[in-house]
Structure 1
């Protein structure tokens, strides 16, 4: 789920372009003949959340006016509608993430935008289309942007705004983990921690649509019963507290449902170890996050006597590995959008925050185990 902010090279007519502020202020002059003949829109400015040094997001992020480049022949001008704040965005700003952008940089790797204008050689998009980034690195925390046609993918514009804004990371992560590690059939079981996270809620709903049962582990809290009912309302089969994983009640649970083939770990530490204990023989533990900041410890008995498989997943790596052929990504988006249109996949709990109030959104995103995803509304 963690996303890098990286250099994006446009295929076709435009030159390599990064999402950093410095490139917006001074764009490379390298273009081929087709592009140079296009009379692009004159430069205009937009508002963007910029950081020029790493550190506490509430201190280093500033709302600034920056210049947009002209719209090239293979570019689209978009108005950003909404962009969430994910943990990876915070990590990048803090400078603690494994891959960091050149500075200054614009925050945000996810969001939904509406196409306002298309270049003369754009074929797959038109004005009015909704689009989301195909990969990280575009810098979505801004009001308008010029993106390459190949940098974005279209979505139906009749799905809820928050579903579109949060589609590219968490639901894609959930979809791939449920599809790529074990052959799951209706009636099979998946166990996961961090079940109330964005990924967790997507796992619950996608699994339910496929007839797969889910055992959903969350931390104990004063509102446990309320949260449990909310997760069951979106399709959770069972909701248990982390401390219940070692209690006799789990044996009773497995009398009425199969032991899980797949365990999904977004926490790490003891929580991941407890998931391993309940996997069936030959099952897989897939780690996609580590909110506890503790390593995953695998008992020797699980490896020897249960032959479990321990894997990791990073949706950005998957997207890069499939960038040469966009059909797999397109098919995944189409299936996810169909679930949204059928009412089987909803956005996670979100808090909408106006761009000007970005400090509130950043503070909320930095709270541990937050139950609502802040989304910047442009």
Structure 2
């Protein structure tokens, strides 16, 4: 018995009880439990985070965008349908707060963006597998980082994957004042490719829009009606486009497709008019033009594109750091004012909305001063 007691004392001396150092973290998130009208079905809820596993990381969200695709996902009309209940938001920038024991290529303080669509960025904190994150440079502004994954990538891929564009070539696009359209203009300027840019008729700020697109690098900006009237004379002065980018569809495509060079390509990535695609039969037969569809999410899902995606993000990052690629006009909105931001995006009003978080005010140099102003009482347009 004495021998047994001695062994117990020795064990108690050298073996300490395991202490759980995990502190409880309660995250807030914008969740929807059913599909429907986004302002009605999205609710602010609390979620307690669990300890991370070896292959996981814990993060804080620095900024998260509200895109039309997010609205359509919540409505249930987008091809991506996360299991319910789901957290909104496909795009944003995260800061790593904790890494699992099996994660070697991310460290606390690193920045990352989500890899899969439907990630759920409308939250304060979260936990994700390392494989769901892509590390990015923390030299970017928060806005540059938060908006890197969707629109710049879409514009870049469409310019790179369908036609081998060289300096002096021409690209034509409709919806030129859309987010992707503005980035197409800037990238073409960098590639020394000319752009013909179409905007819809009847815009109250038509002159301001034309001037702004010109500042971004647009060579020609016309309304759809102006283009129909000038299409013949226009391409007597410049080369016929090798590539046409369409996010509108409808009958106006007849004129875009008709002006393409022989074997030119029309790439459709949206259908804002909600009308079918109208393409002239003659252009198919006598010019042998080709039609393609493009969806960034589908491209990202293909494992064969992983290396291309990394290289693309590096190129876009460097262009942003060099000042050659600027985000579209945006409005920073405090996270707790999400309701108004969702309503405005759903209605198609105003600038791009980016949710920001109060904790970012403490990051020296990581946030633009507008983030601080956003928490001083009102949303801030930039």
TM range (shorter): 0.7 to 0.9
Q: Does 2:296 match 1:315?
A: yes
The answer for the alignment partner of 1:357 in structure 2 is 337
Query: Highest Rg: 1 or 2?
Result: 2
Distance change (3 Å), C-alpha of 1:104 and 1:40: farther
Match of 1:218 among 179, 199, 210: 199
The answer for the alignment partner of 1:162 in structure 2 is 143
Q: Judge conservation of contact 1:71–1:77 (CA < 8 Å) in 2.
A: yes
Q: Judge conservation of contact 1:125–1:154 (CA < 8 Å) in 2.
A: yes
CA drift of 1:88 comes to 1.1
Tell me, in whole angstroms, the C-alpha distance in 2 between the residues paired with 1:108 and 1:149. Answer: 19
Q: Judge conservation of contact 2:244–2:260 (CA < 8 Å) in 1.
A: yes
Tell me, in whole angstroms, the C-alpha distance in 1 between the residues paired with 2:174 and 2:350. Answer: 14
> Can you list the C-alpha shifts for 1:155-180, whole angstroms capped at 9, x where unaligned?
11111211111110111111100000
Tell me, in whole angstroms, the C-alpha distance in 1 between the residues paired with 2:317 and 2:285. Answer: 41
Distance change (3 Å), C-alpha of 1:41 and 1:333: farther
The answer for the alignment partner of 1:230 in structure 2 is 212
Instruction: Note the 1:95-174 alignment, pairs <5 A.
Output: 95-174=76-155
Tell me, in whole angstroms, the C-alpha distance in 2 between the residues paired with 1:149 and 1:98. Answer: 25
Q: Judge conservation of contact 1:193–1:218 (CA < 8 Å) in 2.
A: yes
Q: Does 2:223 match 1:241?
A: yes
Match of 1:373 among 343, 349, 352: 352
Tell me, in whole angstroms, the C-alpha distance in 2 between the residues paired with 1:96 and 1:325. Answer: 27
Tell me, in whole angstroms, the C-alpha distance in 2 between the residues paired with 1:284 and 1:66. Answer: 48
Q: Judge conservation of contact 1:196–1:371 (CA < 8 Å) in 2.
A: no
Superposition CA RMSD, Å = 1.6
CA drift of 1:371 comes to 5.4
Q: Does 2:347 match 1:331?
A: no
Instruction: Tell which has more relative contact order, 1 or 2 (C-alpha 8 A, sep 6+).
Output: 1
CA drift of 1:41 comes to 3.9
Distance change (3 Å), C-alpha of 1:255 and 1:127: same
> Can you list the C-alpha shifts for 1:46-92, whole angstroms capped at 9, x where unaligned?
01000011110010001111122322212111110111111111111
The answer for the alignment partner of 1:30 in structure 2 is none
CA drift of 1:274 comes to 2.7
The answer for the alignment partner of 1:206 in structure 2 is 187
The answer for the alignment partner of 1:78 in structure 2 is 59
User: For this pair of structures, how many residues does the alignment match?
Assistant: 338
Tell me, in whole angstroms, the C-alpha distance in 2 between the residues paired with 1:274 and 1:84. Answer: 34
Distance change (3 Å), C-alpha of 1:141 and 1:40: farther
Of 70-79 and 250-259, more deviation after overlay is shown by: 250-259
> Can you list the C-alpha shifts for 1:210-265, whole angstroms capped at 9, x where unaligned?
11111111113121111111111111111110111210x23332233211100001
CA drift of 1:188 comes to 0.4
Q: Judge conservation of contact 1:40–1:72 (CA < 8 Å) in 2.
A: no
State the SS of the aligned residue for 1:215.
strand
State the SS of the aligned residue for 1:307.
coil
The answer for the alignment partner of 1:345 in structure 2 is 325
Tell me, in whole angstroms, the C-alpha distance in 2 between the residues paired with 1:314 and 1:363. Answer: 25
Give the TM-score of the pair, scaled to structure 2.
Answer: 0.85
CA drift of 1:325 comes to 6.0
The answer for the alignment partner of 1:176 in structure 2 is 157
State the SS of the aligned residue for 1:255.
helix
